[in-house]
Structure 1
Amino acid sequence: MEKPFCRLILGAVITLCQPFIQAQATEPVLTPSVSFYYGNDLPTELLSQFDWIVVEAANVDATELRLLKQHGGQPLAYVSIGELDAWRGADVTLPPTALVAKNEAWNSRVADLTDPGWQDFLIEALIRPLWETGYRGLFLDTLDSYRLFAPEGAAAERQQAALIEIINRIHQEFPGIQLLLNRGFEILETVHDDIIGVAAESLYRGWNPATDTFGAVPEADQAWLYQQLSRVRDQYGLPAIAIDYVPAANRELARETAQRIHAEGFIPWVSVPELNQVGVGLIEPIPRRVLVLFDKEKTEAGELANTNAHRYLAMPLEYHGYGAEYRDVNGELPSDVLHGRYAGVVTWFNDSLSNGATYHAWLRQQMENGLRAAIVGNPGIPLSGALGSLMGLQELNGLAAQTLTVIDHDALLNFEGFSQPSPLPQTSYRLVGDGLTAHLTLRDDNSGDTVVPIMTGAWGGLASYPWVFQEATEYQHRWNLDPFAFLTRALALPEMPVADATTENGARYWMTQIDGDAFVSRADLPGTPFTGEKMLSDILMRYQVPTTVSIIEGEVGAEGLYPQYREVLEPLARRIFALPWVEVATHTFSHPFEWESLVEGEMAGQGETSAGFNYNMPIPNYRFSLEREIAGSTDYINRHLAPANKPVKMVLWTGNTLPPEKALAIADELGLRNINGGNTSVTHSNPTMTRVSPMLRPQGRYLQVYAPQINENVYTNNMLGPLWGYRRAIETYQITDHPRRLKPIDVYYHFYSAASPGALRALHQVYEYVETQETLPLFASDWSDVATQWYSTGIARRLDGGWQIRGADHMRTLRIPSAMGWPDLNRSSGVAGVRDLPSGRYVALTGQGDAEVYFTSTAPSLPHLRHANGRIQAWQATSPARLSISLAAQQVPLTVELGATQGCQVSAPGARQEQRGDSTFLHYRQPRPERIEVTCAVR
């Protein structure tokens, strides 16, 4: 059931990045960014970017409240001071003297503010629970509702005195609480020192509830409210907030209205009357999520990883900077206004939906409110009736493929080749609306009709089955359609800085990870050493780079399959984990092969089904338990194998790598990062983007992080041959770097790669190649943090033309279109530098969490970071002429390139300096943190 909305008179969400200090009239007025959102299922990744955030607390759970505060913002809970909403009143007991009138427009009852019972109700039943929940700010609404029964004179004055008394009592009962008022202009002279600001609605654009129409506010009303807000700002030195209303679909009008309010010196919030849309304020958060709907009941095992949308569309969306948020189309679909919250909705169904009528109505309503849709494959519903009219399409069913002839297509087709699909009956469309672009046009030879299976328009885009792919076999596909371009066109993706999880400081990430499988096996080499021994001597000691190593407790420990080898294997594991460049990880207890089968069936110790299929290692007397797999194996490694100061940092998923939400929750509770899954294995013999997996698999509130590239198992045909096949991972690194850098480098393998000379040689070849590349080596746990934070990093457009970045301490890179220009280092903050690469222009952030970025048409002339193989630990620009940097590379000697240093003095003790053009190159010998000082003549 949906949670009810509060009364909607004025809403403003404001978040304080620092403790509020009451401004005096002679001081500059604080101008926080403010948002008002009363909807369900809060988009915390967007709202948390504001300074003040006004919410309906009944719609906010404890996790959402914590996330609203994650960047220093201040949530303010809505409190109706003068009315009792109908949805609240069912369980409320009040004296008969408390409620004295009815507000018909909002179906609420109006309170006598002088009534002690009503005042006690406000304090004890409404505000105290909010305080105990963790709110330290309130938005006080319906302050003037008393005018419905006491419009003026002595009666109105008594109500105003009671209102002042209520505000004073709130402060007495809850010291330090911050109060934002909706109007209350009559009492400002008395309470202005007790509040943090005043909001009022409909300065320039308003909504008439009686007629349900939007329009311009009459000039006389504009002038009166302008005068009141000016008094708030100028006489009392308080933030004055104007909340205006425009239709949900008219985002451009919302931006224009916000600019107009801002130009007058007020703080804007422009949204819909229900305040259930992420609107436009001093900032406009860019929706970085796409709502991806899938049909769970018609998906193998109900698993989103088995859907076409996840396998094939999530990766191009991630490249564009958008994370997928998955919902089962058969479940409850979000009812709030989604335009402004999501970049769009994406679908790729394989069949008709069982709840087609419900989904049809939902999609039409969201499209009417401005949400764009990218519909791929089968739409799941007929695109007819009112929805077809909105889209400008006439559906033609049952067309015979053998009678269809291609007569035209544009650059959206022929991405990886183009071929006509096998002769299957299909649905296509006649374009009957305006503003549609046909990207593929066919002629039906039977009827002579011209039909279009792929098109885009003002509502989004449609790419119909079976024209999207070339399908050679069940597992071999190539794109006819360019998914990158189609999604950009269909969703009208804006030009913006793109959060990037592949690169930092101009260098491509490089991680190395070893799954624990076959640690107990013997190598096919002289002396038949354990593979762990061979891996230690030949690989780990030679390539001293950050490496995440895992073991399977069921192979190594006393409770596993091979207790007879424990006295040899445990000391070997301890030697490996003691290496400074090795990070400790668990590969679970029994190495689950099919997580969902084990979890759903609560399999017995050997993991046998009635059919006798093994779902995990057959460990005697073991009954499967997620806690034992993750927490238990972690505890074993920490107690018996890991150095005391270096506990388990990660869990590396096993088998089909589809851990359920509970497994991710257990890992998160233990503070473990996670990785593995996906199947990125694109090669020159199969150079298709269908072989590049996404980065993330969301499960509830948790994120599974996929490995950037797959391990040697795929390249060697499950180690059946060719055993040298892993060297083809080099091709995967190349294809995922150019023309688009889609992935970091992941040297990912098992201990069994040390079991044969061919596999071991291939591993050397991979390392030798990666060492020739410009990389930033880091542990897999660090990249897991980057990938996880990428999903929620906030990017917002500022009204002054800049860009606000929130939550960028792990994820530290923006990729920008060259048309946006260069970062303006004079105006920007939190920006370390920029570097042009064949795959794009990469802006390096300082890792301080927040940044403000402005762009200019010219490259930076101030000293900046162009490239480093290490991460920034501290960054301080004391003036345009002085720069102090601390950098550290993980386990490898640091190298740095500083740009625009001509005429500057660079102090870098211990470094060999080299000047080339306007750049200073620094080369260090030791893997340790380094301090660099740059001093320039004033420019």
Structure 2
Amino acid sequence: MAEMPLNHLGLIVEPHDIRKPLPDLAGRDDVRGIVTWWSDDVYDDPDGFLQWASEAADRGTRFLFLGSLGFQRSRAGEATPAYLVDRLLRRLGVRMLRNANDPAFLSAPIVKDQGMVEFERALPPAGRVTEALRALNTDAKVFLSAEGKQGTSDLVIVTPFAGFVSDGYTHYSVEGSTFRQWYINPFRLFSLTFGTGGLPVPDTTTIGGRRIFFSHIDGDGWRNETKIANYRTRNARAIDVILNEVLNGFPDLPVTVAAIAADLDPEWCGDERAISAAYAVYALPHVEAASHTYSHPFYWGMFENGAATGERIGDARCAGASGAVAHPVARAYSARAFNLDLEVSGAAGYIARFLPPGKPLRLLQWSGDTSPFPGAVAASRAAGLLNINGGDSRFDANFPSVSWVSSLGRYTEGGWQIYAAASNENTYTYLWTGRFYGFQQLSENLRRMESPRRLKPINVYYHVYSGERLSSLNALIENLRAARAQEIAPIRTTDYVEIANGFYTCRIVELGDGQWRIEDRGALNTMRVDDRIGEVPDLARSQGVLGWRRHQGSLYVALDPAHPAPVLALGPEPAEQPASLVESRWPVRDMARADSGFSFIAAGFGPGEMTWRVPNGARHQVTWAGGGAGTLTQIVARRPDGTISFSLPATNSAGVFSVRVRRLLDSAESADPVTREE
């Protein structure tokens, strides 16, 4: 619940097991704050925790205490000396009201800041206080207070040093149910507590001012016979339907297809029809290749120490299932004993046999419960494979809370597992047991994850078995059509994974005077800035900045991938700035500005629509070369808002174009858009 909002603010969560020694923070200048979230006293040695926390606070580390403080008594029930508790709390700007815990219900709150509380759900008219706190100074912000028999308790507090939310006031949940909703606004609380307002945030949702689109398919159901009438008469399989209706039907939308090697390998369950489909699928230029393992483990934890207990080996069970997460066995196929190398590098190598020359396979899409043990994640990295899946973000009528939108990924000792940006059709169809049209609900999820804040890119993620039934196929096609109709930046799934990896490596160095250097960002090329109204990138003081765009109150800054360490400087918008990018469907790089215009390189899928700000000139000449079309020229007119728009030829193979935009000085030349070959 906490990690996604923290990621959204540009913060990485490093989990720590409290059963282990407290982490050494000496020299950790990258640690911005410490979060705890307990419902009881949890420390074996609360005195040690208080000493450690006091030292961290003295170094300027901020704290956020959600729920119980956790240190008034040891886990064994021994009371912590009051002076130790008071020393830390007063250092952080609050005091404990002893003997003020009210066992009875409180009256209605006397302070209730609607911008902080009742974010997704109204507070109850009265509640309990288990640890009564009071803000010490006027520089503390109190967002929720309540009056009880013992006096006033501050329930949601942010001081210059820490944030506090009393137990029972973070969120509402139903015991034994998945239902939950936030009382507090986690975005505002975390931003105020950790002081992130106005700072650049590495953004994984946007490229060139547009929301990212990516799509990936898990291979489950590759050999399943379809039930769609006009295909059933031809004995077609689900993969044949996906190939004809989806892959061939949307060549402008890149998609990554991850086969299960056992579905192709004749020594397991493969046959000529499955192999022929693989050749056809991977021959398409907009299809990226990936692996969905060899035998499709359902429960990765069962294999952490090797073979799964009680698994029958030798029965491949090629009649197979669709691959639902709740499958009652350890793996979909078990012709041979589990072998981690075979699942990771072996599967990738086998599937690569069916790829055209020059097409790589660089991605592993986790199967089953998508919870690989650390050794499996490490094995994927050792094999040179990126990895994705898990997370299952939902935000709709059935999951009516931002708390069900997942973090960017999951940390394991083997490395980062990157989560998919949206859940697949499995969770909408009761694990593929009914309501097969349910995936049409994806559009609601994507809409809620876009507004009022852009939390995730557009991700259409599904299985091959969506080609089994007409209702599931129609839902899938409806989602793709809806995505195509939006202003998107389509990229491959590996591009998204590399962007997400860049989030975890990126470091932002403050240079002073509203200026920052962006280091070690990998493939991440967008910075988002919130809470700086009226400011834009100052291109005279910036380096490696392509342009910017405002969206929903935030500033999205596009960085040039060719620049290893861009510098972003913000300030009031000057009367005159050099040319800059507003938005582009295709990623842009290698921009060079000159007095007469600018040039750049772009590549992407579908039509290369883009808009640029230009400082002057009524007309501009756009010349491009690439995509096998020779050199072409177009004349475009500058709008009253100072922008020009044009589109490069549609492509389904991310062909690279070299583009030059030149201001025209000849007033006699036509301003009508014209395309001609030079």
Give me the TM-score of the superposition, normalised by structure 2. 0.85
Paired residue for 1:352? 41
Match of 1:440 in 2: 144
Matched, 1:553 2:261: yes
d(CA) in 2 for partners of 1:389, 1:832: 47
Distance in 2 between the 1:613 and 1:644 partners? Answer: 39
Quickly say closer, same or farther: Cα 1:435–1:854, change in 2 above 3 A: closer
Determine if contact 1:412/1:486 at 8 Å carries over to the other structure: yes
**Aligned partners of 2:387, 2:577: CA distance in 1, in Å?**
41
Report the Cα distance in structure 2 between the residues aligned to 1:839 and 1:649, rounded to whole angstroms: 37
Match for residue 11 of structure 2 among 290, 298, 322: 322
Check conservation: 1:356, 1:380, Cα contact below 8 A: no
Is the 1:737–1:839 Cα contact (8 Å) retained in structure 2? no
Which residue of structure 2 lines up, in the alignment, with residue 869 of structure 1? 585
Query: Which amino acid letter does the alignment assign opposite residue 540 of structure 1?
Result: L
Cα distance in structure 1, aligned partners of 2:409 and 2:42: 26
1:798 corresponds to 2:501: no
Distance 1:506 1:529, change over 3 A: same
Map of 1:264 onto structure 2: none
* 1:830 counterpart (544, 547, 551): 544
Q: Does 1:593 align with 2:317?
A: no
**1:424, CA displacement in angstroms?**
7.0
Contact 2:599 2:660 in 1 (8 A): yes
Equivalent residue in structure 2 for 1:626, among 340, 349, 352: 340
> 8 Å contact 1:442–1:452 — kept in the other structure?
yes
Equivalent positions of 1:670-749 (< 5 A) are 670-684=383-397, 686-700=399-413, 702-749=415-462
8 Å contact from structure 2 (residues 306, 338) kept in 1:
no
The worse-fitting range, judged by mean Cα deviation, of 335-344 and 417-426 is: 417-426
The one-letter code of the counterpart of 1:861 is Q
Alignment match, 1:372: 62
1:388 aligns with 2:93: no
Percent identity reads 26
- The one-letter amino acid of 2:583's match is H
Given the superposition, is the C-alpha separation of residues 495 and 529 from structure 1 closer, same or farther in structure 2, using an over 3 Å criterion?
Answer: same
Q: Deviations over 1:876-902 (max 9, x none)?
A: 22x34441111111x322112121254
Q: Which moved more, 1:325-334 or 1:782-791?
A: 325-334
- Return closer, same or farther for 1:839/1:680 CA change in 2, 3 Å cut-off: farther
Measure the CA separation in 2 of the matches of 1:816 and 1:881: 31
Secondary structure of the corresponding residue to residue 132 of structure 2:
strand
Give 1:525's aligned residue: 228
**Offset, 1:352:** 2.5
| Counterpart Cα distance in 1 of 2:429 and 2:442 | 11
- Counterpart AA for 2:25: D
Q: Secondary structure at 1:416's aligned position in 2?
A: coil
Secondary structure of 1:327's aligned partner: coil
CA spacing shift, 1:854–1:385, aligned 2, 3 Å: closer
- 2:139 and 2:159 in contact (8 A); partners too: yes
How do 1:182-261 residues align onto structure 2 when only pairs under 5 Å count?
Answer: none
Q: In the TM superposition, what are the counterparts of 1:138-149 in structure 2 within 5 Å?
A: none
Q: Secondary structure at the match of 1:905?
A: strand
Alignment partners' CA distance in 2, 1:911 and 1:605? 68
d(CA) in 1 for partners of 2:664, 2:541: 19
Q: 3-state SS of the aligned residue for 2:659?
A: strand
Compute the displacement of 1:523 (Å).
1.1
- Of stretches 582-591 and 394-403 in structure 1, the one that deviates more from structure 2 is 394-403
Match runs of 1:449-464 below 5 Å: 449-464=151-166
> Is the 8 Å Cα contact of residues 913 and 922 (structure 1) preserved in structure 2?
no
1:543-585 CA distance string (max 9 Å, x none): 112110011123332243x34xx11101111210111111111
Q: Contact (CA 8 Å) 2:582, 2:611: kept in 1 or not?
A: yes
Distance 1:913 1:921 in 2: 10
Measured at CA, do residues 771 and 914 of structure 1 come closer, stay the same or move farther in structure 2, by a change above 3 Å? farther
1:775 aligns with 2:483: no
Q: Which amino acid aligns with 2:87?
A: A
One-letter code aligned to 1:323 = I
Structure 1 runs (4+) deviating above 6 angstroms are: 421-425
Gap regions ≥5 residues in structure 1: 1-311
Is 1:485–2:193 an aligned residue pair? Answer: no
Is contact 2:217-2:462 (8 Å) kept? yes
Instruction: Tell me the equivalent position of 1:899.
Output: 613
Deviations 1:884-921 (A, max 9, x none): 111111x3221121212541633324365543332221
Aligned to 1:854: 569
| CA positional deviation for 1:386 | 2.4
Distance 1:654 1:422 in 2: 46
Q: Radius of gyration: which is bigger? A: 1
Check the 8 A contact 2:498/2:522 in 1, yes or no. no
Match of residue 471, structure 1, among 173, 178, 194: 173
Distance in 2 separating the partners of 1:550 and 1:872: 28
1:636, distance to aligned residue in structure 2 (A): 1.3
Give yes or no for contact 1:913–1:920 (8 Å, CA) kept in 2.
no
What one-letter code is carried by the residue in structure 2 that aligns with 1:455?
I
Counterpart contact for 1:881–1:935, Cα < 8 Å: yes
RMSD: 2.5
Instruction: Spell out, residue by residue over 1:58-113, the C-alpha distance to the aligned partner (whole angstroms, 9 max, x if none).
Output: xxxxxxxxxxxxxxxxxxxxxxxxxxxxxxxxxxxxxxxxxxxxxxxxxxxxxxxx
Instruction: Note the C-alpha offset of 1:417.
Output: 2.0
TM-score by length of structure 1 reads: 0.62
Q: Once the 2 structures are TM-superposed, how far is the Cα of residue 431 of structure 1 from its aligned partner?
A: 4.1
Give the structure with the larger helix fraction: 1
- 1:906–1:322 Cα change, 3 Å: farther
Q: Secondary structure at the match of 2:4?
A: helix
Which gives a bigger RCO, structure 1 or 2 (Cα 8 Å, sep 6+)?
2
Q: Distance in 2 between matches of 1:906 and 1:524?
A: 54
Deviation at residue 317 of structure 1 after TM alignment? 0.9
| Map of 1:616 onto structure 2 | 331
Partner residue of 2:214? 511
Unaligned runs of 5+ in 2: 73-83, 314-326, 625-631, 666-678
Structure 2 residue matching 1:713: 3-state secondary structure? coil
CA–CA distance in structure 2, aligned partners of residues 403 and 884 of structure 1: 66
* Structure 1 residue 328: Cα displacement: 1.6
- Correspondent of 2:119 among 409, 415, 433: 415
Secondary structure of 1:659's partner? coil
Partner of 1:297: none
Structure 1 range deviating more: 370-379 or 910-919? 910-919
Q: CA deviation at 1:930?
A: 2.0
- 2:286 and 2:126 map into 1 onto residues whose CA distance is 53
State the Cα distance separating 1:316 from its structure 2 match: 0.7
1:862 maps to amino acid: P
| Shift, 1:693, TM fit | 0.7
Q: How far has the Cα of 1:343 moved from its partner? A: 1.6
- Inter-CA distance 929–431: structure 2 relative to 1 (3 Å threshold): closer
Closer/same/farther in 2, CA of residues 930 and 647 from structure 1, 3 Å limit: closer
Structure 1 residue 409: Cα displacement: 1.4
Shift of 1:494: 4.5
Q: Which moved more, 1:672-681 or 1:793-802?
A: 793-802
Return the letter of the residue paired with 2:263. E
- Aligned partner of residue 323 in structure 1, secondary structure: coil
Contact kept, 8 Å, 2:501 with 2:522, in 1: the verdict is no
Q: Which one-letter code corresponds to 2:189 in the other structure?
A: F
3-state SS of the aligned residue for 1:452? strand
Q: Partner of 2:672 in structure 1?
A: none
Deviation at 1:753, TM superposition (A): 0.8
Deviation, 1:423, is: 7.2
Matched with 2:501 is 788
Matching residue's letter, 1:836:
R
Question: How many pairs align?
Answer: 615
